[in-house]
Structure 1
Amino acid sequence: MKKINFVFTIVCALAFCLQSCNNGKTYAEMKEEEADAINAWISRNNINVISEKDFYAQDTMTTENQYVLFEESGVYMNIIQKGPKYTEGEHAGEYKGKVLGDGSQEILSRFVEVAMQERSDLGMAVGDTLLANMGVLNPDYYIYDEEFKVTIDGTSYSATFQGRSLMYNQYGSTAVPTGWLIPLKYVKPFRTTSSEQVTRVRLIVPHGQGSSTASKYVYPCFYELTYNLGK
């Protein structure tokens, strides 16, 4: 009987700890609040959401402030620049790059990560810049590209951060958020030094497709993100 009571005490203690970590909210409640935060962001920013069917009908492009919703992942994507183009010669207007195929490729990225949800328990408010290596005024604040190696095998995409990594330093994981990899199925990155020509997207990323910390604490993030081919 004492053994049963001891086990019961441990279970209760663990349950109490988990409840305290989540402010007494269930995972379902936290997901619902996350969904509300995403919908509020979409409404506040007058975002036009289209289906994947419409996205393909538009030759996998989006117009200004138009985001395609990928139902399976819950990620929303707006393509700002699909990739660098030739500006002269017989190939003028054509993309220099192509959608990445099977194999491994080094990607150099600039990004801004923004909070989409008020979370007093995490000390974040809507619109807070959580992390950035793009558009930062202080030149001493992380001037390096975020470097990651993506490996593609058919419909399978995986990637790990390499070298200097702001994301790794902050979140302690070399795994690139899966939400970052979804655009690579549609954009056409190519090596360029032009900030206007570089492949650029905006993303709304729910917790399950985000950083390890976002996944743990259940909150969505907005990203502006560039993809530049490495060497």
Structure 2
Amino acid sequence: MKKLTLFFLALLACGLAFQACDNTKTYAEMLEDEKDAIKAFIRDSSITVISQTEFYRNDSTTDLSKNEYVQLASGVYMQIVDKGSTNPADTVKPNDQILVRFMEFSLMNNVVTMSNLDYAEVVDEFNYRVTSSSIAGQFTQGFMLYYGTSVPAGWLVPLAYVRDGAHVKLIVPSKMGHNSAMQNVYPYYYDIRKYQIYR
């Protein structure tokens, strides 16, 4: 009986030791790290965050002289550098193909992780789809295919506010990002130099 008791105590001690050595973070801790990384980027980049109410009051624009970004309900922060075409008909429509020039920057690692800005022969392309309940995009070519065919939901958010040829900057939280961002709970900053509608 004494040996059996010692065995169970030893087993319990080993279990506690292994648990103490576990360095994995909980999802809540990862979300907190993500929130801290976004706050640090906003602070270090001297970004002025405005509400959606202010954004709409200003005719859906952001003031570049104040380095304004609007925080949208989705959690995405957006700065419209250039709304694109002045022709109201040049908006994105269902089934359009969109060509994109972009740079992706990891807010967790503070490093550029992907960009096609320096490659004249490479452009990322996706098909824009609209259903009665959702919008989506599917990559057909380009560097972002590395993460899979699904376009980050954060990339689709600006399409409601801009036209052909637009230039936007985005802070995209993991829940609105690509597959890798969602799995690792990593936020990304994007400088999307051009949303080019290709019909």
Report how many aligned residue pairs link the two structures. 177
Identity among equivalent pairs (%): 38
Question: C-alpha distance in 2, partners of 1:218/1:54?
Answer: 29
Contact kept in structure 1, 2:92 and 2:197, CA below 8 Å: no
SS, match of residue 62 in structure 1: coil
Question: C-alpha distance in 1, partners of 2:197/2:62?
Answer: 22
Q: Report the structure number with the largest CA radius of gyration.
A: 2
Q: How far is the alpha carbon of 1:84 from its aligned partner?
A: 2.5
Cα RMSD after superposing both structures: 1.9
Which ranges of structure 1 fall in alignment gaps of 5 or more residues? 1-15, 86-94, 118-124, 190-197
SS, match of residue 42 in structure 2: helix
Q: Which amino acid aligns with 1:79?
A: I
Q: How far is the alpha carbon of 1:82 from its aligned partner?
A: 0.3
With the length of structure 2 as denominator, give the TM-score of the two structures.
0.83
Moved over 2 A (4+): 95-101, 152-156
Alignment deviations for residues 32-87 of structure 1 (CA, whole Å, 9 cap, x no partner): 0100000010001110000001110011111111100013x2100000010124xx
Matches within 5 A, 1:35-114: 35-64=35-64, 65-71=67-73, 73-85=74-86, 95=87, 97-101=89-93, 103-114=94-105
Contact kept in structure 1, 2:172 and 2:189, CA below 8 Å: yes
Question: C-alpha distance in 2, partners of 1:55/1:199?
Answer: 17
SS, match of residue 41 in structure 2: helix
Greater share of helix: 2
CA 1:207 to 1:41, structure 2 compared with 1: closer, same or farther past 3 Å? same
Q: Which amino acid aligns with 1:81?
A: D
With the length of structure 1 as denominator, give the TM-score of the two structures.
0.72
SS, match of residue 110 in structure 1: strand
